[in-house]
Structure 1
């Protein structure tokens, strides 16, 4: 499985399903039809993609969007960004500040604004929130079924392909230079689009 096939599977899983559980089931079924090598390739591309998102500036975006942040939550946010498809992923991976231009995120921010104004909680449902934890594990069961091996061997197969994931984060694995997210001057310099959005809200 090459990168094009990986992204096609990610995007088809969105087009051909509705709720997140349906999407997970679709991917499970599709991967279960593949060889163990193809499933390991899928996992390799998944890890390569999410690892590209491990940057200080994107972590700042995540914390700003949610109003708080955790390392686990950031991983699930990265999963969600990959779930949006290749175009959105490449845009954000190249320019983290461009995340504020994603229509999917703008819709969620508007929902949050309206619901907070009406004292409605939670502001996002489980289907809506910009985190997708379970998508990160979708290759595990198919690999165990097809390969007949413990899921630990899937990690070995990915590393054998020369890929080492950055998640789970241990606090010092971000790309770029760390900075104080509460520093408005630095926020304006590093993430001007997000800073402008926050200023007009």
Structure 2
């Protein structure tokens, strides 16, 4: 399985099964029909992709757009971003400032405004609430479930096989043991720095001195 096959599965899951629970089930079923080696390949590409999203600037974009500094939440957010497909993920990974232009993000922000104003009632159904969250934690476990189904063993072997390919995950982020997003650290409280690094998001926040964003 190469990177194109990996993204093909991610994107097909969104076509074949709309809701998140169904997407995960579809991916597990699809991977379970394949050799163990392809399940390992999928896990390797998943890890490489998540690692690409584990950056300080994308964490900052997540922080400012969704008003959350949770490290676990950021990990699940990157998984959600992967679920939106290759074009969207790579665009935002290359330029985190573009997060504020993603249609699914704008939709979620509009929903939050509608809930806050009372124009719309928040769903009480837990599954519907998860559908409206910019986090998709369980998508990260697809290969684990497929590996267990095919081999009849625990998923530890999957992790060992991925590490044998010299691929290890940046997540989970545990600062106490050096697990932090890659990239230059900077002060999120410095409005000028926010405006310089994330001009589109700065304008969304109403910060002053926001320069014109680069293409």
| Shared fold (TM-score, shorter chain, > 0.5) | yes
State the Cα distance separating 1:101 from its structure 2 match: 1.2
SS of residue paired to 2:91:
helix
Are 1:158 and 2:151 matched, yes or no?
Answer: no
> What TM-score does the superposition give when structure 1 sets the normalisation length?
0.94
What RMSD in Å do the two structures reach over aligned CA positions? 1.8
Kindly indicate whether structure 1 or structure 2 has the higher relative contact order, using CA contacts under 8 Å at least 6 residues apart: 1
CA contact (8 A) 2:20 2:131 kept: yes
CA contact (8 A) 2:48 2:167 kept: yes
State the Cα distance separating 1:173 from its structure 2 match: 2.5
Q: How does 1:62-81 map to 2 (within 5 A)?
A: 62-81=62-81
| 1:95 match | 95
| Counterparts of 1:146 and 1:125, CA distance in 2 | 32
Stretches of structure 1 lacking an aligned partner (at least 5 in a row) = none
Q: Residues 85-127 of structure 1, C-alpha deviation per residue, up to 9 Å, x if partnerless?
A: 0000110111111111111111111111222122755798211
In structure 1, which of residues 176, 179, 191 is the aligned counterpart of residue 186 of structure 2? 179
| Counterparts of 1:59 and 1:37, CA distance in 2 | 32
**Count of residue correspondences:** 200
| Counterparts of 1:192 and 1:122, CA distance in 2 | 33
Deviation >3 Å, runs of 4+? 119-124
| 1:2 match | 2
SS of residue paired to 2:129:
coil
> What TM-score does the superposition give when structure 2 sets the normalisation length?
0.88
| Counterparts of 1:25 and 1:129, CA distance in 2 | 19
| Counterparts of 1:159 and 1:101, CA distance in 2 | 35
| 1:128 match | 132
| Counterparts of 2:110 and 2:82, CA distance in 1 | 21
| Counterparts of 2:118 and 2:132, CA distance in 1 | 18
| Counterparts of 2:196 and 2:158, CA distance in 1 | 41
| Counterparts of 1:66 and 1:178, CA distance in 2 | 20
Q: Residues 119-176 of structure 1, C-alpha deviation per residue, up to 9 Å, x if partnerless?
A: 7557982111100000011111110121333211111111111211101111342111
In structure 2, which of residues 182, 189, 196 is the aligned counterpart of residue 189 of structure 1? 196
| 2:147 match | 143
